[in-house]
Amino acid sequence: IEGIGPKSAEALVTSGVSTYRTMASMTPEALEDAVKSKKVRLVGSTSTWPMQAELAANGEFEALDALKGRIKGGFLHDDLTAIEGIGPKAQEALYEAGFRSYAEVAAADVEALNAVLEAANLKLLTPDTWPQQADLLAKGDLDALKTLQDQLKGGRA
pLDDT at 69: 85
Domain containing 70 equals: 6-75
pLDDT of 155 strictly over 80: no
Number of structural domains, the chain? Answer: 2
Asked if residues 129 and 152 have their Cβ atoms less than 8 Å apart, the reply is yes
Residue 57 counted as domain residue: yes
Q: Compute the distance between CA of residue 64 and CA of residue 49 in angstroms, rounded to an integer.
A: 11
94 plus 64 within the same structural domain: no
Task: Please name the amino acid found at residue 134.
Answer: A
82 plus 124 within the same structural domain: yes
pLDDT of 136 strictly over 90: yes
Structural domain ending residue among the three candidates 55, 75, 95: 75
Beta-carbon contacts of 95 under 8 Å, excluding residues fewer than 6 positions away, are: 72, 77, 80
What value does the mean pLDDT of the chain take? 94
Average pLDDT over residues 21-38: 97
Average pLDDT over residues 91-95: 96
Main-chain phi, psi angles of 19, to 5 degrees:
-135, 155
Residue 92 counted as domain residue: yes
| Helix H or strand E encompassing 75 | strand 75-76
pLDDT at 43: 82
82 plus 59 within the same structural domain: no
Express as a percent the part of the chain with pLDDT over 90.
84
Average pLDDT over residues 3-14: 96
Q: Compute the distance between CA of residue 90 and CA of residue 70 in angstroms, rounded to an integer.
A: 17
Q: Using one digit for the tens of pLDDT, what is the confidence trace for 54-89?
A: 999 999 999 999 889 888 878 888 999 999 999 999
**Could you tell me if residue 85 is left (phi over 0), alpha (psi between -120 and 50 degrees) or otherwise beta?**
left
Residue 157 counted as domain residue: no
pLDDT of 16 strictly over 80: yes
| Helix H or strand E encompassing 81 | none
